[in-house]
Amino acid sequence: MTISVDAQLSDLRAQLVELAAERDALRDQLAGDLPTATRWLQRKVWRQAAALDDLNRRVSTQRFVLRTLDELGRSLTVEEYRAARNEIANIELRERIDDPDTA
């Protein structure tokens, strides 16, 4: 898999911004400004939780599709995908599997 130069630059910028924010939070902590450092850490945890949730949703969707394809031995139509998704009894799991119209 090849990553474009623009994507690499974007990733590096994001890492630089994150490191600068972490440096500032550590400075705040050393200066005794614990509320500011704590707020930064809480925002970081929320960002990571959101990223993990997104990844878990994608994995759930991929597992669902693979299991269904394995049972059928062929690709799914959108209608079949939606029908199979709607048959999942566990509401929380069903909501984690992407709707084909929004994917």
Answering whether pTM is above 0.85, one says no
Mean pLDDT is lowest, of 13-27, 35-49, 76-90, for 76-90
pLDDT value for 81: 81
pLDDT of residue 100: 63
Question: Domain map of the chain by residue range?
Answer: 5-96
Identify the pLDDT of residue 60. Answer: 85
**Among candidates 1, 54, 56, which has minimal Cα distance to 64?**
56
Check residue 101 and give its pLDDT: 61
Residue with tokens 């929004």: 102
Residue with tokens 């090849």: 2
Reported confidence tier of residue 59, pLDDT bands at 50, 70, 90: confident
Percent of the chain, pLDDT > 70? 92
* Chain position carrying tokens 């994608």: 58
